[in-house]
Amino acid sequence: MLSTNLIVLIPLLPLISFLLIALVGRKNFPNLCGALGTIALLTSFLLAATVAYDYFFVAGKVNGIYQQMVPMKIKWLEFSPNVSIDLGILLDPISVMMLVIVTFISLMVHFYSLGYMKGEERYATYYSFLGLFTFSMLGLVISSNIFQIYMFWELVGVSSFLLIGYYFDKPSAVAAAKKAFIVTRFADLGFLIGILVLAYYSGTLDFQTLITRLTTPTDQLHAITTASFLGASALTWGLLLVFMGGAGKSAMLPLHIWLPDAMEGPTPVSALIHAATMVVAGVFLVARLFPVFSISCPSALQVVTWVGASSSLFAAIIACTQTDIKRVLAYSTMSQIGYMMFALGVSGYGGEHGLGYMASMFHLFTHAMFKALLFLGAGAVIHYVHSNEMKDMGGLRKLMPVTHITFLVACLAIAGIPPFAGFFSKEEILQAAFHANTTIFVIAICTAAITAFYMFRLYFNIFWNKEYHAVSHVHDDHAAHDDHHDHGEGPFTMKLPLMILGLLSIVAGFLPFAHLVTSDGKPLETEFHITFSIAPVLLATGGILLAMVFYKKENPRPQAIANGLKGLYTAAYHKFYIDEVYLFFTKKVLFNLVGRPAAWIDKNIVDGTMNLLAFITEQTSYLIKRMQSGRVQSYAAYFFAGVIGFVLVFIYWWK
């Protein structure tokens, strides 16, 4: 096994790159910062790849089962003798897989950005933020402690905030960054309370101990799975609250509203954070706690299933109506993550039953490849036409051949056409769903067809449809670039990642994934049923053909259909008005009914009481101060009045 020091370097190198660039590089050698970050990431990736090779093929297995290893653990903060936050490294199939995915995609994005972000004013800052994000994400996936994961979870959130708000002088970017942070923060509130609940009942924060304690049948476990609060057991509450955090980060219904807006960030950032890595953190979290979900709390897993399935269909429908290409991709990401979620939801634990778990992780892996490719391809297109809108594009296939081919590969992969990567993982998910729940299976297969349709709607609109005419650019990521249209398809640094990812999107599906990543560490034998695949592939092909009929050449059919489905189309176009509901609740209800009254009460009632006290004191002193006038006559008058008064009192009352 690789020495611990080298494993620690995997997350630390990006952190060092962040610190170095932020503190020194930004001022002194801004133009070298990109190279610096890229080299750090390259080293990190090579180390991660070595760890993965070692783990999967050399040292990870004992008696044919992949083990969980904790090569490092440092006590960071102790709450009580048994409950402490330890910073540690937990290696098991999913964390090792995530190490590879995160470092690899991040490396691709670093490299791609060398060209894409060239000439930006805050080029160095951009790379420092990328380093910060990569560090946080790597820390997240290797966490050995549930509180550690929460810490890195928050750090990931803030780096996402910084990167979405990268163009901070654009009000829309600032708004999007705020929205992303606040919505996920709200979800994290659930996560935090969930941690408190789980830690209270298991008496630990350490993942391994926690999972063992919450899956071993004891009296205590029995007590917390049966005692009910508002109709659900304590454990269910804990897990659901933790899942709320995961749903927020993974943009699941109804906490998804931040993801489409997050596309305000630079496109490579969307590829890294909002497609391949951060948004799958929720899936990863459920997978991390999967034994507890599956063995002790199937009802919570049901919720995961339905949230995942509904998000996947819902997002797919919206994606068909969006015209901003990045937003289409954002909704497609949401839809695919929904896929991963419900695959976990329908899965059981161990052996054959764990098919869904394996499929979910497999899909996470392939999705990272082709979705990063789609975003980077979209970035190249946006770089070229200086617009995010489909209407400004069309006929780009001859002008951008590399982008065109790789984009097509990615579209085929996501549509699930054999032999591209997405086909294999999707098949496994569909099989798992088929064996578990017919309704879910129907939703899944419909989503697959819609996915194929909207992805090719996107593809044809960009690369076919009408001839390309340069337009004046409104939505411009690249105000700094004046040399548009003569720069060709983009520099080599942008094309190379596209080609690498394109290649992987073709071959990644052939990986013997079931032998490597399973719910219990034992290799799983999966069978490939050609008969089962016919229906999904046919449906996907149907979707593609439909898209071809509508969008390959400019024609009035799409408009006619949109008019025909008027109500549904408008609703989907406006994202089913969920944003408006939230806005109403926050602006109108929270601000007007809680915030304003609180400020008013404070100013008028609480402070008013204080001022009233002061006022009464002042008035009283004003009234009695005239008694101290210094005139002897009035003192004498007071004196005699007093004497008479007392005399009267003594005579009449004091008997």
User: Looking at beta carbons only, is 597 or 642 nearer to other proteins?
Assistant: 597
* Phi and psi torsions of 153, nearest 5°: -55, -45
Which stretch of DSSP H or E encloses residue 531?
helix 530-551
Cβ neighbours for 602, distance < 8 A, ≥ 6 positions apart: none
Whether 415 contacts 536, CB under 8 Å: no
Specify the stretch interacting with other proteins by CB under 8 A; choose among 147-155, 410-418, 445-453, 508-516: 147-155
User: Looking at beta carbons only, is 226 or 634 nearer to other proteins?
Assistant: 226
User: Looking at beta carbons only, is 466 or 596 nearer to other proteins?
Assistant: 596
Q: Does 435 bind other proteins (CB under 8 A)?
A: no
CB of 129 to other proteins, least distance (A): 13
Residue span 582-601 as binding mask against other proteins, x where in contact by CB under 8 A, dash where not = ---------x--xxx-xx--
Q: Does 24 bind other proteins (CB under 8 A)?
A: no
SS (H, E, C) 262-294: HHHCCHHHHHHHHHHCHHHHHHHHHHHCHHHHH
Q: Does 182 bind other proteins (CB under 8 A)?
A: yes
Please state, in angstroms and rounded to a whole number, the distance separating the CA atoms of residues 530 and 599: 66
CB of 334 to other proteins, least distance (A): 22
- Cα 151 versus chain centre, distance: 15
Q: Categorise residue 2: left if φ over 0, alpha if ψ from -120 to 50, beta otherwise.
A: beta
Residue type, 251: A
Among candidate residues 109, 114, 149, the one with its CA nearest the CA of residue 32: 114
Among candidate residues 406, 392, 382, 388, the one with its CA nearest the CA of residue 490: 382
From 29, 57, 79, 646, residue interacting with other proteins (rule: CB under 8 A): 79
- Cα–Cα distances (Å) from 459 to 121, 407, 550, in that order, read 32, 8, 12
Sign of CA dihedral 381, 385, 389, 392: negative
User: Looking at beta carbons only, is 352 or 602 nearer to other proteins?
Assistant: 602
User: Residue 28: exposed, middle, or buried by beta-carbon count in 10 A (0-12, 13-18, 19+)?
Assistant: exposed
Taken as a whole, the chain contains a residue count of 655
DSSP string across 45-56: HHHHHHHHHIII
Whether 359 contacts 340, CB under 8 Å: no
CB of 85 to other proteins, least distance (A): 8
Specify the stretch interacting with other proteins by CB under 8 A; choose among 94-102, 150-158, 219-227, 527-535: 150-158
For residue 421, give both structure tokens: 């990567």
Q: Does 546 bind other proteins (CB under 8 A)?
A: no
CB of 454 to other proteins, least distance (A): 33
User: Looking at beta carbons only, is 485 or 603 nearer to other proteins?
Assistant: 603
Specify the stretch interacting with other proteins by CB under 8 A; choose among 188-196, 463-471, 517-525, 647-655: 188-196
Q: Does 475 bind other proteins (CB under 8 A)?
A: no
The runs of H, that is alpha helices, within 347-400 are 355-385
Whether 357 contacts 344, CB under 8 Å: yes
Q: Does 185 bind other proteins (CB under 8 A)?
A: yes
Which stretch of DSSP H or E encloses residue 228?
strand 228-229
* Phi and psi torsions of 254, nearest 5°: -95, 25
Q: Does 621 bind other proteins (CB under 8 A)?
A: no
Please state, in angstroms and rounded to a whole number, the distance separating the CA atoms of residues 445 and 154: 35
Specify the stretch interacting with other proteins by CB under 8 A; choose among 184-192, 490-498, 499-507, 545-553: 184-192
Among candidate residues 481, 486, 488, 484, the one with its CA nearest the CA of residue 398: 488
Q: Does 193 bind other proteins (CB under 8 A)?
A: yes
User: Looking at beta carbons only, is 28 or 609 nearer to other proteins?
Assistant: 609
From 61, 118, 178, 481, residue interacting with other proteins (rule: CB under 8 A): 178
- SS3 call for 516: helix
From 1, 32, 49, 155, residue interacting with other proteins (rule: CB under 8 A): 155
User: Looking at beta carbons only, is 474 or 594 nearer to other proteins?
Assistant: 594
CB of 577 to other proteins, least distance (A): 22
Q: Does 196 bind other proteins (CB under 8 A)?
A: yes
User: Looking at beta carbons only, is 182 or 571 nearer to other proteins?
Assistant: 182
User: Looking at beta carbons only, is 595 or 645 nearer to other proteins?
Assistant: 595
Please state, in angstroms and rounded to a whole number, the distance separating the CA atoms of residues 372 and 501: 8
User: Looking at beta carbons only, is 115 or 238 nearer to other proteins?
Assistant: 238
Among candidate residues 273, 244, 250, 267, the one with its CA nearest the CA of residue 161: 273
From 189, 496, 499, 571, residue interacting with other proteins (rule: CB under 8 A): 189
- Residues in contact with other proteins, counted by CB under 8 A, come to a total of 46
Please state, in angstroms and rounded to a whole number, the distance separating the CA atoms of residues 374 and 409: 9
Residue span 355-394 as binding mask against other proteins, x where in contact by CB under 8 A, dash where not = ----------------------------------------
Please state, in angstroms and rounded to a whole number, the distance separating the CA atoms of residues 45 and 60: 19
CB of 565 to other proteins, least distance (A): 37
CB of 595 to other proteins, least distance (A): 4
Count how many Cα atoms sit within 13 Å of the Cα of residue 132 in the half-sphere of its side chain.
Answer: 22
CB of 4 to other proteins, least distance (A): 19
CB of 154 to other proteins, least distance (A): 5
From 20, 72, 83, 402, residue interacting with other proteins (rule: CB under 8 A): 83
Q: Which residue has the tokens 């789609």?
A: 374
Whether 380 contacts 388, CB under 8 Å: no
For residue 267, give both structure tokens: 């496109």
Q: Does 171 bind other proteins (CB under 8 A)?
A: yes
From 11, 88, 165, 377, residue interacting with other proteins (rule: CB under 8 A): 165
From 63, 64, 169, 525, residue interacting with other proteins (rule: CB under 8 A): 169
CB of 279 to other proteins, least distance (A): 19
Q: Does 481 bind other proteins (CB under 8 A)?
A: no
Q: Does 606 bind other proteins (CB under 8 A)?
A: yes
Positions that interact with other proteins (CB under 8 A): 75-80, 83, 147, 150-152, 154-155, 158, 161, 165, 168-169, 171, 174-175, 177-178, 181-182, 185-186, 188-189, 192-193, 196, 199-200, 591, 594-596, 598-599, 602, 606-607, 609-610, 614
